[in-house]
């Protein structure tokens, strides 16, 4: 058998490279495209949660209290995201005006897991605004309630 010259080795290597490159072109030639579809039903979502406002009592005019907002989700199948919180003040004494109070509700946009209780969903401040011109004695012993909702 004859030994290969340097020129023949280069030609053989170039041929092998061309064969590999040609194989790649053949692969690309035989690829195809197509279409398809798939579907799944999403959760009905929008589960209902029970919201709570928690703060310490003993307010006097000019005082403020930190408010913690929590949520319970009794749904066994669906987690629910709590959106923006809204809060208003009510009292059990008609002469103790809710307008004398202010309350904030800072939202955390928290997801409340299914079957959970006491999930923190925000915080805020309840303030008993002091009036220099009105006697606020009607609020002595009154029960202050924060009504909280989510939109």
Domain spans, the chain: 1-30, 50-150
Question: What pLDDT is attached to residue 101?
Answer: 96
* DSSP per residue, 69-129: EEEEE--SS--EE---EEEEEEESSTTS-GGGEEE--EE---EE-TTEEEEEEEEEEEEE-
Question: What pLDDT is attached to residue 7?
Answer: 64
Question: What pLDDT is attached to residue 28?
Answer: 47
Q: What is the mean pLDDT of each run of 10 residues along the chain (151 residues)?
A: 63 55 50 52 66 94 96 90 92 96 91 94 96 95 94 80
Structure tokens at 92: 């059990």
Task: Let me know: does 100 contact 131? Beta carbons within 8 Å.
Answer: yes
Question: What pLDDT is attached to residue 38?
Answer: 53
Query: Is the domain 50-150 a CATH 2.120.10 member?
Result: no
């Amino acid at each position: 058998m004859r030994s290969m010259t340097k020129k023949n080795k280069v030609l053989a290597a170039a041929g092998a490279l061309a064969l590999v490159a040609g194989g790649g072109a053949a692969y690309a030639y035989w690829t195809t495209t197509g279409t398809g579809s798939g579907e799944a039903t999403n959760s009905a979502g929008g589960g209902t949660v029970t919201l709570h406002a928690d703060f310490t009592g003993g307010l006097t005019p000019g005082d403020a209290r930190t408010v913690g907002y929590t949520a319970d989700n009794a749904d066994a199948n669906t987690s629910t995201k709590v959106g923006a919180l809204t809060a208003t003040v009510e009292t059990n004494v008609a002469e103790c005006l809710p307008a004398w109070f202010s309350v904030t509700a800072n939202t955390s946009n928290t997801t409340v897991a299914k079957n959970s209780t006491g999930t923190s969903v925000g915080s805020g401040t309840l303030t008993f605004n002091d009036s220099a011109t009105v006697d606020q004695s009607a609020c002595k012993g009154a029960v202050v309630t924060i009504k909280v909702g989510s939109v």
